Amino acid sequence: MRVNLVLTGFGVVGREFVRLLQEKHRFLRRAYELDFRLVAVGGRGGFITSEDGLDLKILGDAEPGSDSLETFSKNSGLPLMSTFDQADALIEATPTDTDSGEPGFGYIMKAIHHQMDIVAISKGALVRHYDTIFTAADANQVKLKFSGATAAALPTLDIGQISLAGSEIVSIEGILNGTSNYILSSMQREQVSFEEALKAAQHQGIAEANPRLDVEGIDSACKILLLANSLLGSRLSLSDVTVTGIVGVSSEDIIEASAQGKKMKLLARAYKQDGTVRVEVGPSMIGSDHLLSSVDGTNKGIVFRTDTMGDVGAVGGSSSPRGAAAAALKDLIHLYHTT
Ligand SMILES: NC(=O)C1=CN([C@@H]2O[C@H](COP(=O)(O)OP(=O)(O)OC[C@H]3O[C@@H](n4cnc5c(N)ncnc54)[C@H](OP(=O)(O)O)[C@@H]3O)[C@@H](O)[C@H]2O)C=CC1
Ligand SMILES: N[C@@H](CC=O)C(=O)O
């Protein structure tokens, strides 16, 4: 099956997605009978498009960033267009803006009106406009997946929607932000300063374009909010989440955690209490008996408490641009592969 794709956002994740399409082209055809063709890529300055498919090798070798699309346009003679034409699916990988949800929201709504399926990696639009997006998607028979926005390479939504079907999820607890976990682990294991550890996370391409989203707990809040609204039946907004980030965690706090034989972690929690769903993010000291205590560095982890299957969890899914791109590819495969 041929599937024509539009990608918005050619940053570190978008560029990695292009690389995966090229690297795995044959494998995807053989294993899933899926032939993905990238017909448009959009950056800040516009879209390069080709009905026959863009050259994945040239794009994959380019530096990430919108400037590369302008260079590609000049070198290839393909003009930069102001928007994209209809295709089968949109991959949304622009920066996350939790205030406006833009530019992702505009791209997602345009795709829905073109009846294109959507794989969202950015979180802003989903966090700000969840109901609007899903109502429009349903009305237009559009399918939408967003593993990339809910901890990416760490399976979270898939577990809740598929593996735990029939169970009631009573609570969700996770270490969902690789940047914060990397900072806390580096401070505790290697006595690295907060600032140095943040710089290293930025160097690895895992911090948000605005790293305050990571260290102030907003990225974790977005992820646990999306999980709560998708899996616990809530309809909460970001303002309903009680959020404390790791900016207030001092080296003294870390020393105290070590002295108690514990680890400092940024935990995101959603749970049912008195008939309502509560969602919160904050630093906690956890002991070795906690299911998430082995989650260090850029790794993440999640534990679901259920009524019939006990506690079920996953750990790993290290934050990385490649992991995020792979999560989007997984969503695409699940949208189009039929057994
Ligand atoms: N990095 C990671 O490990 C992960 C990231 N994510 C999410 O993926 C998304 C992308 O992240 P990442 O690749 O790291 O971020 P980057 O900042 O590297 O890339 C974002 C790209 O989008 C471009 N852009 C900005 N505005 C527009 C616009 N209006 N139209 C089209 N493109 C635009 C930027 O342009 P310019 O080059 O000019 O700045 C940039 O190239 C974010 O929403 C993030 O939350 C999710 C999981 C993991
Ligand atoms: N900034 C995030 C990556 C995307 O979700 C993280 O550090 O985990």
Strands 117-120 and 89-92: parallel
User: With helix as H, strand as E and coil as C, how does 25-54 read?
Assistant: HHHHHHHHCCEEEEEEEEECCEEEECCCCC
- CB of 43 within 6 A of ligand 1: the answer is yes
Mean pLDDT by 10 residues, the chain (339 residues): 98 98 98 98 97 97 98 95 96 97 98 98 97 97 98 98 98 98 96 95 95 98 98 96 97 95 98 96 97 97 98 97 98 92
- CB of 327 within 6 A of ligand 2: the answer is no
Buried b (16+ CB within 10 A) or exposed e, 65-83: bbebbbebbeeeebebeee
Per the CATH hierarchy, to which homologous superfamily does domain 2-153+322-336 belong? Answer: NAD(P)-binding Rossmann-like Domain (3.40.50.720)
**Ligand 1: which residue has its CA nearest to atom 47?**
324
Q: What's the pTM?
A: 0.97
Let me know: does 126 contact 266? Beta carbons within 8 Å: no
298 is written with which tokens?
């850029």
- CB of 66 within 6 A of ligand 1: the answer is yes
Work out whether the CA dihedral 311, 317, 319, 325 comes out positive or negative: negative
Strands 311-316 and 300-306: antiparallel
Cα angle, residue 150 at apex, residues 46 and 106 outer, rounded to 5°: 30
pLDDT of residue 338: 81
Measured from the Cβ of residue 12, the count of other Cβ atoms closer than 10 Å reads: 21
Spatial CA neighbour of 96 closest among 144, 54, 155, 152: 152
- CB of 10 within 6 A of ligand 1: the answer is yes
Buried b (16+ CB within 10 A) or exposed e, 193-227: ebeebbebbeebbbbbeebebbbbbbbbbbbbbbb
Quote the ipTM score: 0.99
Domain boundaries, the chain: 2-153+322-336, 157-319
Active centre residues (catalytic)? 223
Strand order in the sheet with 2-8: 46-49, 35-43, 2-8, 89-92, 117-120, 144-145
Nearest listed ligand to the Cα of residue 321: 1
Domain at 157-319: CATH code = 3.30.360.10
- Residues 199, 204: Cα–Cα separation, whole Å: 9
Spatial CA neighbour of 265 closest among 232, 299, 233: 299
Nearest listed ligand to the Cα of residue 83: 1
Let me know: does 292 contact 172? Beta carbons within 8 Å: no
pLDDT of residue 156: 98
